[in-house]
A and B are shown apart, each in its own frame.
Chain A
């Protein structure tokens, strides 16, 4: 099993660590400014050829999902501005997949940030 660490200093907590599936944002979600700043600071430590734009985007998506949805299952797709969140929690995900064609189902990913 993975060893994980609770980071109570992370900006996402903002005084509370309890979240419900109905709380976090849905739809287009852009990276929080503090996440953008943090990733830019970390990226500056590496040559541009190593910490590429594509990798920075992947990390921004990952941090954005963790910021809002840690501990929840989420269906999302990566878009240029951030992530598009389609469903949060298993019940919403179940509703999302109903009636979708096989092709449509492969346009998003389910993840537990």
Chain B
């Protein structure tokens, strides 16, 4: 009974547009009150709000968000795209491929896929359109390339999963590398295929002189520095993910300064935006925390695991079903909301089937990426549409080939968990 009421309150609030963290907190309190009365509610609300934000590992979130904001204002993304475009622009579909490579490079220094989609929209999209690219194709490759940021470390989404699943942040971040490379190559292959099947879609760029090509490479230095300061130190174990995140933010600050943009008017809004987003994420985690207490007391996950076990299905059948659920949720819900609402329920089930929590985290993120580029609420497509001033339907249509290719990648990573787990197991 308490479970039904708690869930009903949650879903009504979510449908009415109540912020996810608020909705989870409120429905959690209602449920806890029904189970344990006022004493239980007071007991949890006394400690949860503070203990939620005082954890050492939570510091990774504001620091990676700050790094993302600083990388954005550094203007490094423009140069990154220009450098790659100069080198591969002569290939058929070259600028599209440059977008994917710049997206992967940017992802390696920025953990936010919306930030990445916005940046690529502002840089590579105009370049492609100027070159005479089919707008649909250009928009699609930008939207999908933006999703790489949530897979390639540093990834905010993977950190949130780690906090929810109580898994190693370091291992999860490193586990995103190989799948990130695979997704990048998949985008490259899709672009190549599209350009090959109809060359008018993607005209070849004019050549760039070798001197210019080499001059453009100077952006690679700061990028590698930031990548090393974050992913390098995590992989080698020199610093904890928390320290790596702060080093990354500091490194990004240095890059901003090096590029002569360290002015108060530029830096201050970046710090403010990072605080807003950090607070938003911490609020969702607090809501999930309160709701989680309630959920554990109802023992609903244990019954779910027992029921699924009683069905005697093959693990891959359950896994396929789980992935379909994530794909459906991804079409209309925010990716972080999906994580906090589903991971506490799904993870015990997945573990009972003998799967690895690190692998599952990466699979969930790769699956969630699809939701960013599918209607009706694929956020990246809306961002691209807004920047490109094109109809959002066109962007969704342009993303379709990438969605299909992405589903193949999900199937591959699901069938061969070793692809995901090999690198983190070397740590």
The finding on whether chains A and B are genuine partners in a shared complex, rather than unrelated, reads no
